[in-house]
Structure formats: structure tokens, C-alpha cells
Amino acid sequence: MAKDVAIIGVGQSTFVRNYEGSIRELAYEAFREAIKDAGITPDDINASIIGSAPEYDKQRSPSGLVAEYLGLNPQPTFAIETVCSSSTTGIRVAYSLIKSGLHDVVVVLGFQKMSEISSADSQERMGRGADIMWESPFGTMMPAYYAMHARAHMHKYGSTERDLALIRVKAAKYGQLNEKAVYRKGLDLDQVLSGEPVASPLKRFDCCANADGSSCVILASAEKAKEISKKPVWIMGLGAATASLTMSGRESLDGLNSARLAAKQAYEMAGVGPSDIDVAEVHDCFTIAELMAYENLGFAEPGKGVELIREGETYLEGKIPVNVDGGLLSKGHPIGATGGSQVRTIVLQLRGEAGDIQVPDPEIGLVHNIGGVGIYGNVIIFGR
């Protein structure tokens, strides 16, 4: 494994439905935790990358505001946006900046304060993540898009609403253990299956909740990481791909091709395969998204992902633990912060610091972070 770029610090705010402070204060909560975790000061940071979905930001160009508030001036700051995958795209850019030799310590901070606008406005803005000429004017929104994926998967492979409900039951089990999650209640199968319809076949509990939150990941060169950190976690492989903005441009709807391609790249770069992954965080904005991720990442053959959840193999004690922090379904989904939160979970797992959700002795972890309805796909593989 190449040890060129490491994660030396991670942090996350508690994800909440209605954060009372400003975006700068929200960003500081994750930054403060990450700086303390890394054992450095703002003066040690050479550059910052700030990720958010700008349609939710009342502050134009919030990256400058956030960098100033965090004491990172006059070092350069950059804004990154690939909607829900903004923070992991930021990590890809930070990795490149460090590998190029331009910088040796870079902070990636993602945030979103979604409560600044109404739920109706939020859904409308999410819909505009699709093609504003050919799709969003017809009322397409995120639940409807993923309902299309669910119907396609059910039609092709025979997966059921019960299979999706099993994924939500698992998320709720572990969400109860995550003090930073929005939703910290257990759910049984009947409760999930009897939830109100949102976009058939998806029901209330098949969908993640909007949230306010921030996450922070600090990256360093190998030289700096060995100097600063007692437990660096190394980036082994990165993959990224894009897909057609419109559903009509996709070859199929039973999976996300951007995720498949990103996973292939990350595995090849890391020199590992799906069977080598000890713990994974996948982008479960909807239950069907987690099911498709099992297959797109190679944890199961196409159509066989249901067997993993039916047999409990994605639980903490299973052969491939997935989203044992509750995932987006329990944590909530503050768009710009989501990917960094996933990375934080994997870093803590590989350092053996995950507490009640600790997977036994993991060596390799994976993060799968999706932007939009599979428009952007990022996969990152980490090693301790």
C-alpha cells in the first residue's frame, strides 16, 4: 500500500433538524473537533477546501467566510460542489494538492444548514439537481427518482419492500448508538412497512431526513503525517465518475453506473478487491440506495444484494459491516457534510476508536458517496 497521503484528524458536529447558530458557527463545531483530534493549530494548515450545495446558502461564496472564521487566512481556500458528494470530492482535490507538492496539510470542511429554507423549497431545489429543461419542470424530486430505481430493481431481480425495510431496521439499530445522529430511535419491521407512502414503493422510513451539520477531515503528506500523527489512516485508492444528468440517458436504473466505475478505479488503485473490505460506509439516502451499493461495490452479485441484508451479513458481526453508524437514514443528510461524516466513521473504525459500533480489528475501510441521483460517484479506500 502506498503511504503518500494520510488522514490525521476528523471531526463532526451533531446533526440536527434546526441549528440555531450561523453557518460559520456550524462549521467551527466540526473544525474544533478535527483540530483537537489531529493535535495541530490553524497555523499548521496550508490550504482549505469548503464544500456545500450553494442553493441552500444565503451567504454567497461561503468558503471565504468560513475560512476567515476558522482562522485560516491568508492561506488559499477553495469552494467545491458536487452536491451530496461535495466533501469527498474535496478530499480527492486535497489529495491531489498534497501529491503535487503544493501543500502538505489541507483541511476539507463540508457543511449545510438546510433549515434556512422550508422543506417545500428544499425539495424544489433538490429537484433542480436534475435537468431543468427536460426533467425538473415535471415535478421530479429525490424520492421519486429513487422510487424509479427501486421499481427497476424489483422488476429485474425480485427484491421486495420487505428487503428495503430490513435495511431501515438495521440503520435504526445503530442510529440509537450514534450520539451525533438526528434519528435515535429503534424501529421494527412492521413499523417500517406500515409507514406513510412517499413515492411508491418508498415509504416514510425508507427516506433519510434533511439536517443541519458540518464535518471536517484534515489530510497531510506522508512526511507531515508521520511527524504529527500517532495513528494516521492512509488513503489507498480513490475513484470518481459521473453519469447522465437525465434518467433517459442511463443504460439501466437497477444500479448506479457512476458508483460501479468509481469502485473499479478505487479497487485498482488500492490493489484490493471487495472481499478485502472490512467495514464500509455507503450513501443510503434511501433504502434502495444502500441495496444498490451492495451490488455496485461488488459486495454481492447483481440481484444478490438482498441476501446480504436478509442474512444479516451487513450488520456489525456480519462478513461486510455497512453503515454501522446508522447511515444517512439515521444520521440525517446535511448535503455538504455527509461525505466527511462517512470518512470520520471509517477513520475511527480503523483507529479502533468507534466505541459501541467498533468492528473487530478492521484493516481496510471504504466510503461510497453519491452526488444527486447517481450523477456523481466517489469511492475512497482507506488503510490503517
DSSP 357: G
pLDDT confidence band for 371 (50 / 70 / 90): very high
Q: What pLDDT shows up at residue 121?
A: 76
Query: How far is residue 232's CA from residue 37's CA, in Å, rounded to a whole number?
Result: 11
Is the peptide bond preceding residue 74 cis, with omega within 30 degrees of 0? yes
* DSSP states along 74-109: TS-EEEE-BTBTHHHHHHHHHHHHHHHTS-SEEEEE
What pLDDT is recorded for position 120?
77
Q: Which residues pair with 84 in a beta bridge?
A: 82
CATH superfamily ID and name for 5-118+211-233: Thiolase/Chalcone synthase (3.40.47.10)
Helix (H, G, I), strand (E, B) or coil at 222: helix
With 80 as the cut, is the pLDDT of residue 234 above it? yes
Q: With 90 as the cut, is the pLDDT of residue 56 above it?
A: no
Please tell me the predicted confidence (pLDDT) of residue 139: 76
Distance CA 23, CA 269 (A): 36
Model confidence band, residue 341 (pLDDT cutoffs 50, 70, 90): very high
Same fold, 5-118+211-233 and 141-209+236-383: yes
Query: Does the annotation mark 216 as catalytic?
Result: no
Residue 272 has pLDDT above 80, yes or no: yes
| pLDDT at residue 332 in the model | 97
pLDDT-based confidence at residue 1 (cuts at 50, 70, 90):
low
Calculate what percentage of the chain has a pLDDT beyond 70. 100
Band of the pLDDT at 93, cuts 50, 70, 90? very high
- Angle of helix 287-296 relative to helix 161-175, nearest 10 degrees, comes to 100
> Where residue 173 falls among pLDDT bands split at 50, 70, 90?
very high
Separation between Cα atoms, residue 113 and residue 271, nearest integer Å = 38
The predicted pLDDT at position 141 comes to 85
Q: Which of 84, 207, 208, 216 is catalytic?
A: 84
CATH number given to 141-209+236-383? 3.40.47.10
Domain boundaries, the chain: 5-118+211-233, 141-209+236-383
pLDDT in tens, 178-218: 999 999 999 999 999 999 999 999 999 999 999 999 999 99
* DSSP annotation string for 316-331: TTSSS-B-TT-HHHHH
Distance of CA 134 to CAs 95, 140, 323, Å? Answer: 36, 10, 34
Burial of 144 (0-12, 13-18, 19+ CB in 10 A): middle
Residue of 149, 153, 283, 333 marked catalytic = 333
Residue 257 has pLDDT above 70, yes or no: yes
Enter the pTM of the model.
0.97
Decide if 84 is catalytic: yes
Region 118-134: what's the mean pLDDT?
Answer: 76
Contacts of 58 (CB under 8 A, 6+ apart): 116
Segment 60-72 mean pLDDT = 95
- The fraction of the chain above a pLDDT of 90, given in percent, is 88
Predicted confidence band of residue 118 (pLDDT cuts 50, 70, 90)? confident
Considering the chain, what is the average pLDDT of its residues?
95
pLDDT at 337 over 90: yes
